[in-house]
Structure 1
Amino acid sequence: MSTNRPAAIVALARGLTSEEAAREAGVSGRTVRRWMEEQDFALEVRDARTQLLQHAVGQLAAGAVEAVTTLREALRDADGRNRVQAARVLLDATLALRESLDLEERLAALEAAQQEAH
């Protein structure tokens, strides 16, 4: 296996075109396009993309905790406008999260019912 394949895999997982991935990997665009026709290569790109997305979600979750802490601190701000704005943002986020969780629960129930039907 070429030592350049991993670089091409990561580049493609990041959303680069085959030509851009080829430049990053130091191979021809033709080589990357040939690799892309291989099922194992495509699976490796998908797995790398999944790992990148999982890392991004983790970073977002960490930032969300900090954001909520900041908003909660703003609730105690001396300026009433800052308190009201923080309260609005927290309530909006809470309602959106609640709706998302409700939809997730309903979807899970539908999927479970469908599994039982089969």
Structure 2
Amino acid sequence: MELYKLMTVVILASLLTCCHTKRNFHIECLDTEDCADTHCCLLGGFRYSIPRCAQLGDVGAICRPSGEPFNTTVSYPDGEGDVNLRNVYWLYCSCQDGLYCDRQSHTCQKEK
């Protein structure tokens, strides 16, 4: 009987942990790893911006030379609580592999 009680507690704790990490239906990504290999998790510059998967910059695309991924916590007025974001980009994704973000033009360019 003790084993049954212990198993019940373990299962309930697992379910509570699992259900607590639910994602708001409108949030497409919590981490760049949630997106395809050719995309990043992008957070816009407006209040209550919703993270979304966006394509990495191609030649000529606007980019941020110092645009490194970062971790942050955001919240929304829907009362669902805080949303923890990891490895997200601000405003623009990084450039595709083989490209770099030019500091003068702020565009993705082919590596020399």
* Pairwise same-fold verdict (TM > 0.5): no
Highest RCO, 1 vs 2 (Cα 8 Å, sep ≥ 6): 2
Please tell me whether Structure 1 or Structure 2 has the larger radius of gyration of its CA atoms.
Answer: 1
Determine which structure has the larger helix proportion and give its number. Answer: 1
**Structure with more strand by fraction:** 2
